[in-house]
């Protein structure tokens, strides 16, 4: 696999205090198709890492102001997917083992051929790309989702797959609950396609898309002249779904009178067309979906309790995208390929920095919002082969709101520096927790902290205040 099939000019941070060797290594990497950035010290390297997401780093283990292993840890904490190579003139087995344990892909002892670094990096990039491709393939082939294009391997979606496998061959009514954009209709279709009813129709009815005064006729059908505009008889969705599956989306928006008729249909397995008292038997599996808590609506008197229990025979709760972080890279790459194929474009790649932005976003619109964002990014990337952060929609590019410099008056007798810094740290942590709805993992990513460091700070702040912070 040639380097050209990977990211365009992968960026490499070279941290080396020997000037001549640093420049020679930079020239060698440039000649081999990489884009190096040179740092002479640990302090300079940390500044570069804070301002840019490098694809890889080459770190001398002995620096005048820092330990290379500590710098490696800092790079891995900030960018878990970064490819790291450790270099030293003072080789030792213990240091090599430590570096590899901390995430380095290789360890080189001086002197060595400069081309070795390029070969190691190229090989590491190829292995990572293969892992990503294999992970996406495994996710597509995983369990229940293998036949229906449902992508995911997170514990949350695996639990959904497990439930669906157990119910696929049953005829029981299913209630799918989940936020907008979590893929409720796709799950309903997967249930249908894996059931004995797969050879018959999957009929969808969206209560939010049909005016209330027409909903009953759409579901149950009507006779000619049953109401103004009924110029001919028409069969409804229940009859169309005979021997197949009827999917009722946004069931929470059905009116009380329609809920009563739905309850009777589910109880008696028969319906009456509008304008006709003659009962018509039907044989259809009913799958309902809602993005609103029906139990709450029942308590508020806005949804019939008896209908809720008729629908809630087998409940399926779809997790929001923010609870499926490990699925976001897989979904994003899938949507990139989909958008490229739909527009007859060469398949593009996603930069590592884009993936981090995507995993840090709150995604209130879930998978649908992610797909739209990727389609936007592919379009804005033009002829470039790699989708970068600049191609993302504005709300995703902005990330964490910039911290404004406080307008502070320094008193004549001075101030408590540690207290002021501690309060700023506390405010940042609380703001990020608020932004992510209390999700500590996402909040840590927004602050570019490892989850362990974030939890430690959170616990410390809780202890200082005498109560839990989150």
Q: Residue 365's domain spans which residues?
A: 322-398
Does 42 reside within a domain?
yes
pTM for the model: 0.58
Does 411 reside within a domain?
no
In tens, the pLDDT along 26-40 reads: 999 999 999 999 999
Query: Are residues 430 and 385 part of one domain?
Result: no
Can you tell me the distance from the alpha carbon of 243 to that of 285, in angstroms, rounded to the nearest whole number? Answer: 8
Can you tell me the distance from the alpha carbon of 104 to that of 73, in angstroms, rounded to the nearest whole number? Answer: 10
Does 405 reside within a domain?
no
Query: Are residues 258 and 158 part of one domain?
Result: yes
Which residues have C-beta within 8 Å of that of residue 119, sequence separation ≥ 6? Answer: none
Structure tokens at 47: 């500044």
Does 404 reside within a domain?
no
pLDDT for the residue numbered 147: 53
Query: Are residues 441 and 303 part of one domain?
Result: no
Can you tell me the distance from the alpha carbon of 269 to that of 284, in angstroms, rounded to the nearest whole number? Answer: 9
Which domain CATH number covers 45?
A: 3.40.50.2300
Does 144 reside within a domain?
no
Last residue of some domain: 291, 319, 347? 319
Cα torsion for 181, 185, 190, 191, to the nearest 10°?
A: 120
Query: Are residues 117 and 8 part of one domain?
Result: yes
Can you tell me the distance from the alpha carbon of 230 to that of 216, in angstroms, rounded to the nearest whole number? Answer: 13
Which domain CATH number covers 432?
A: 1.10.10.60
- Over the range 177-215, which residues count as b (16 or more CB within 10 Å of their CB) and which as e? bbbebbbbebbbbbbbebbebeebbbbbbbbeebeeeeb
pLDDT for the residue numbered 463: 44
Query: Are residues 329 and 315 part of one domain?
Result: no
Query: Are residues 297 and 217 part of one domain?
Result: yes
What are the beta bridge partners of residue 288?
Answer: 175, 248
Last residue of some domain: 137, 161, 180? 137
Which residues have C-beta within 8 Å of that of residue 228, sequence separation ≥ 6? Answer: none
Number of domains within the chain:
4
Which domain CATH number covers 326?
A: 1.10.8.60
Structure tokens at 109: 């002892």
Query: Are residues 226 and 337 part of one domain?
Result: no
Query: Are residues 209 and 222 part of one domain?
Result: yes
Query: Are residues 18 and 61 part of one domain?
Result: yes
Query: Are residues 194 and 57 part of one domain?
Result: no
Query: Are residues 266 and 182 part of one domain?
Result: yes
Query: Are residues 308 and 268 part of one domain?
Result: yes
Ranges of the chain with pLDDT below 70? 1-8, 90-93, 96, 131-149, 231, 399-420, 422-423, 461-470
pLDDT for the residue numbered 418: 65
Does 341 reside within a domain?
yes
CA pseudo-torsion sign 229, 230, 231, 234 = positive
Last residue of some domain: 366, 398, 430? 398
| Helix or strand holding residue 399 (H, E) | none
Can you tell me the distance from the alpha carbon of 195 to that of 244, in angstroms, rounded to the nearest whole number? Answer: 9
- Phi and psi (nearest 5°) for 444? -60, -40
Does 143 reside within a domain?
no
pLDDT for the residue numbered 360: 84
In tens, the pLDDT along 95-109 reads: 767 888 888 888 888
Structure tokens at 198: 């797969």
Does 169 reside within a domain?
yes
């Amino acid at each position: 696999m040639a380097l050209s099939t990977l990211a365009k000019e992968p960026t490499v941070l070279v941290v080396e205090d020997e000037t001549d060797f640093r420049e020679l290594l930079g020239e060698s990497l440039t000649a081999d198709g990489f884009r190096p950035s040179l740092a002479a010290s640990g302090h300079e390297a940390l500044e570069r890492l804070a301002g840019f997401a490098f694809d890889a780093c080459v770190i001398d283990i002995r620096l005048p102001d820092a330990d290379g292993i500590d710098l490696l840890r800092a790079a891995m904490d900030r960018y878990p997917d970064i490819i790291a190579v450790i270099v030293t003139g003072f080789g030792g087995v213990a240091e090599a083992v430590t570096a590899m344990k901390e995430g380095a892909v290789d360890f080189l002892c001086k002197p060595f051929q400069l081309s070795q670094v390029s070969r190691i990096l190229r090989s590491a990039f190829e292995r990572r790309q293969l892992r990503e491709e294999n992970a996406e393939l495994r996710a597509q082939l995983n369990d229940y989702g293998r036949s229906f294009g449902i992508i995911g391997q997170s514990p949350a979606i695996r639990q959904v797959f497990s439930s669906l496998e157990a119910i696929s061959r049953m005829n029981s009514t299913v209630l799918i609950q989940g936020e907008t954009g979590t893929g409720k209709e796709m799950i309903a279709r997967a249930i249908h396609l894996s059931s004995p009813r797969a050879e018959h129709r999957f009929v969808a009815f969206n209560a939010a898309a049909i005016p209330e005064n027409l909903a009953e006729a759409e579901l149950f059908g009507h006779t000619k002249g049953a109401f103004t505009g009924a110029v001919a008889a028409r069969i409804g969705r229940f009859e169309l779904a005979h021997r197949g599956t009827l999917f009722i989306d946004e069931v929470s928006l059905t009116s009380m009178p329609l809920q009563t008729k739905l309850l009777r249909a589910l109880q008696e397995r028969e319906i009456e067309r509008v304008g006709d008292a003659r009962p018509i038997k039907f044989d259809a599996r009913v799958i309902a979906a809602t993005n609103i808590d029906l139990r709450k609506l029942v308590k508020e008197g806005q949804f019939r309790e008896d209908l809720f229990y008729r629908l809630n025979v087998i409940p399926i709760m779809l997790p929001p995208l923010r609870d499926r972080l490990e699925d976001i890279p897989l979904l994003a790459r899938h949507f990139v390929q989909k958008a490229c194929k739909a527009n007859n474009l060469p398949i593009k790649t996603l930069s590592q920095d884009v993936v981090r932005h995507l995993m840090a976003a709150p995604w209130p619109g879930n998978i649908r919002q992610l797909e739209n964002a990727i389609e936007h990014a592919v379009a804005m990337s033009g002829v470039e082969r790699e989708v970068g952060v600049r191609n993302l929609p504005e709300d995703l590019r902005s990330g964490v709101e910039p911290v404004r410099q406080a307008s502070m008056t320094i008193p004549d007798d001075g101030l408590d520096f540690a207290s002021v810094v501690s309060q700023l740290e506390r405010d940042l942590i609380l703001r990020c927790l608020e932004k992510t709805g209390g999700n500590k993992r996402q909040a840590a990513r927004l602050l570019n902290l490892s989850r362990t460091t974030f939890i430690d700070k959170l616990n410390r702040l809780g202890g200082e205040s005498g109560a839990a912070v989150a």
